[in-house]
Amino acid sequence: MKPIIEVAQAMGIADDHLELYGKYKCKINPSLWEEVKERSDGKLVLVTAMNPTPAGEGKTLTTIGLTQALNAIGEPTIAALREPSLGPCFGMKGGATGSGKAQIVPADDINLHFTGDIHAVTSAHNLLSAMIDNHLFHGNALRLNPGRIVWKRAMDMNDRSLRSIVTGLGSGNGNAREAGFLITTASEVMAVLCLSENLSDLRNRLGRMLIGYNEEGAAVTATQLGAVEAMVVLLKEAIKPNLVQTLEGTPVMVHGGPFANIAHGCSSVVGTRLALKLAKIVVTEAGFGADLGAEKFFDIKCRQSGLIPAAAVLVVTVKALKYNGGVPNSELDYTNTEALKLGLVNMERHIENLSKFGVPVMVAINQYAEDVSEEVELVKERCRKLGVIVETSTVWAEGSAGGRKLAEKLVEILDHQMMNFAPLYDHELDIRAKIEKVVKEIYRGKDVSYSPAALRGLAEIDRLGYGNLPVCMAKTPYSFSDQPRLLGAPEGFTIHVRDISLSAGAGFVVVHTGNIVTMPGLPKSPAAEHIALDEQGVINGLF
């Protein structure tokens, strides 16, 4: 690794703007924004993927490798990525910093505590939780209804046993009431951090956050509880973007970490905007498949911030396509062209969906060593028939050299193809119409059913005057439907909306579908069982 000061200097960033966290990572002071804000923006490229499978698609890997390759061919490029959550790192997914020769480093630091941003979000979230119960204990001047407090606690770890709890048990410990935990990446504080434009905007958004209702049914906010300034103090460093590098010394902004299946799934607006002032091209990603991350990137992040994407890259693998064609995970290494042909409908659906947002689309085939040329060619041929540019990527094995052709084709798209970006739905539509628009046009469902709780949530949001907000769909990432095992490109199904909640500070409405939960659980054999620290202090088995 290069010293991070050298990486910054190569971008034209003076040392005065850097706040070092050791030798290889730093935060960037807001003073840099004041210096560069009048510069013209670079071009913003979104990397997304087909629906995820157990084999892995390599979206982050491709983002990193493509960024390295663009720099290698003379296109100054920065990647803008999310920070990994400890929950998945010690749960099912393991680390989230790429792999092979397309990694961001120092990987162990980034995957673990990094610069403390997620811990700061957890602390700010739980400070508000503690102040709510303290307010109840000391007389409840706001007349909060204990049965209508919507603010939960948060922690950055998967723990299903904390989804529903009772607090205040025991003598002198406050009012006993039902409560629960969500994972920090699903916290509205995390969404607020990632969508805020600056510290002032952060303060205003935190103040709008809904904590519950009083005895008369009026909404009560964090501002009314007097919690906002203390939360800002806890988050004042976390709002500063983090700078690290790839294995080839390419700069990467890693900042913010909302999940895409239960939150909006994009890195920070602050980091993305700054990167666009510093580079010709910025490559960013959005979590899970394009039906979740990409839709929210366009309809929430870009809509709120005014960012204009120039292109989208859809990552697919032969293995994932065969999985969507009915091949079990244990047999994906075997040639099966018939299953591959069946699974191609998943890729086609995502291509069609991305095109609806008015951005040029290209397909990146993340190629494994065991992929056979016949199957790779089938994927390429289908893309050609659809009129979509396609290229293979071998960045895992070769780094920038393995992404050179991909990078060259992307530059060709950026230079010659027109984009006419627009969100999927109109701002003025009501919440129900927006939900149905996403369900019918992105998921291809036929209908939406609402539970009594969801209908009450809709009525409450309308009563409070937030009916014009965008929707943030909380849905399984494994299928276009809300049923994880319904693979390929299903149609005509019903999306079941279990609940609808307001995130007034973040500026969206969360729509909970199917069995999706905001606090994941660990798998039977979590990644935490396979990690060890050797006598030299080297971490093995996880990242």
Question: What is residue 531's predicted lDDT score, i.e. its pLDDT?
Answer: 87
3-state secondary structure of 56: coil
Would you state the structure tokens that stand for residue 343, as one six-digit string? Answer: 């699974």
Where on the phi/psi map is residue 375: left (φ > 0), alpha (ψ -120 to 50), or beta?
alpha
Task: Tell me the pLDDT tens digit for each residue of 290-310.
Answer: 999 999 999 999 999 999 999
| Close Cβ partners of 385 (under 8 Å, ≥ 6 residues apart) | none
Mean pLDDT along residues 362-390: 97
Would you state the structure tokens that stand for residue 78, as one six-digit string? Answer: 């920065």
Question: What is residue 402's predicted lDDT score, i.e. its pLDDT?
Answer: 98
The answer to whether 431 and 467 are in contact (CB under 8 A) is yes
Mean pLDDT along residues 121-148: 97
Question: What is residue 59's predicted lDDT score, i.e. its pLDDT?
Answer: 96
Mean pLDDT along residues 343-350: 98
Per-residue HEC secondary structure of 245-263 comes to EECCCCEEEECCCCCCCCC
* Number of neighbours of residue 255 by Cβ within 10 angstroms: 30
By the 10 Å C-beta count (0-12 exposed, 13-18 middle, 19+ buried), 217 is classed as exposed
Phi then psi for residue 287, to 5 deg, are: -65, 155
**pLDDT band at residue 96, thresholds of 50, 70 and 90?**
confident
Question: What is residue 223's predicted lDDT score, i.e. its pLDDT?
Answer: 98
* Average pLDDT of the chain, as a whole number: 96
Task: Tell me the pLDDT tens digit for each residue of 520-539.
Answer: 999 999 988 888 888 888 88
Name all domains of the chain by residue range, CATH numbers in brackets.
Answer: 4-29+39-106+240-416 (3.40.50.300), 117-235 (3.30.1510.10), 431-513 (3.10.410.10)
**pLDDT beyond 80 at 121:** yes
Task: Tell me the pLDDT tens digit for each residue of 210-267.
Answer: 999 999 999 999 999 999 999 999 999 999 999 999 999 999 999 999 999 999 999 9
| DSSP strands (E only) in 422-470 | 447-450
**pLDDT beyond 90 at 445:** yes
What does pTM read for this prediction? 0.96
Mean pLDDT along residues 370-395: 97
Q: Which residues pair with 149 in a beta bridge?
A: 212
| Inter-CA distances, 96 with 65, 102, 147, 161, Å | 14, 12, 38, 25
Task: Tell me the pLDDT tens digit for each residue of 314-346.
Answer: 999 999 999 999 999 999 999 999 999 999 999
Question: What is residue 543's predicted lDDT score, i.e. its pLDDT?
Answer: 59
| Close Cβ partners of 184 (under 8 Å, ≥ 6 residues apart) | 85, 118, 121, 122, 125, 154, 155, 156, 190
Question: What is residue 542's predicted lDDT score, i.e. its pLDDT?
Answer: 61
DSSP at 286: B
For residues 536 and 179, the model is more confident at: 179
* Number of neighbours of residue 409 by Cβ within 10 angstroms: 16
Question: What is residue 536's predicted lDDT score, i.e. its pLDDT?
Answer: 82
CA distance 326 to 321: 9
What counts of helices (H) and strands (E) characterise the chain? Answer: 20, 25
Hey, CA dihedral for 256, 477, 358, 252, is it positive or negative? positive
Question: What is residue 94's predicted lDDT score, i.e. its pLDDT?
Answer: 76
Question: What is residue 349's predicted lDDT score, i.e. its pLDDT?
Answer: 98
| Inter-CA distances, 472 with 182, 259, 297, 366, 377, Å | 16, 11, 10, 28, 36
Task: Tell me the pLDDT tens digit for each residue of 488-524.
Answer: 999 999 999 999 999 999 999 999 999 999 999 999 9
Question: What is residue 56's predicted lDDT score, i.e. its pLDDT?
Answer: 86
